[in-house]
Amino acid sequence: MEHTRYGMVVTTSRSMVEAEEAITKSLASEGFGILTEIDVAATLREKLGVERTPYKILGACNPLLANRGLEAEADLGLLLPCNVVVYARGDRTVVAALEPQLMADVTDNPELQEVAAEARGRLEKALARLES
């Protein structure tokens, strides 16, 4: 797993469809559900006539962690849900999740540190199951 400044990234030999199904199941095992799904490639094709490789944004939410975060910082909703992206890169598929620590850092609220750390651990576990 690669860690970037703002995310956690895995690359897999699975197809986009297989990777999306796998990350959805893996996230569910860590208490996350998918609230939103945006097919970026389809939207850009429809709205702008732009063709691009397949790219999806999944809005993942762990209700227990979201509730704890919102209790500590009501405006945290501006940073939710945790986005997970799935996109094609050559003959591989990339799956990446937002680094939850960014949410805690942006708010500068120490109460969110524990929530962010738990979210990060759960997201890392979910992503690690896709590595290949």
Average pLDDT over residues 36-48: 98
Question: Does residue 58 carry a pLDDT above 90?
Answer: yes
Residue 131's pLDDT band (cuts 50, 70, 90): confident
pLDDT for the residue numbered 35: 97
Angstrom distance (rounded) from CA 101 to CA 104:
5
Question: Does residue 3 carry a pLDDT above 90?
Answer: yes
* pTM, rounded to two decimals: 0.94
What percent of the residues of the chain are helix, what percent strand, and what percent coil, each to the nearest 5? 50, 30, 25
What percentage of the chain exceeds 70 in pLDDT? Answer: 99
Q: Which of 107, 67, 84, 110 is nearest to 25 (CA)?
A: 84
Domain map (residue ranges) of the chain: 2-128
pLDDT for the residue numbered 132: 60
pLDDT digits (tens, 9 = 90+) for 77-118: 999 999 999 999 999 999 999 999 998 899 889 999 999 999
Question: Does residue 121 carry a pLDDT above 90?
Answer: yes
Q: Would you identify the CATH topology of the domain 2-128?
A: TATA-Binding Protein (3.30.310)
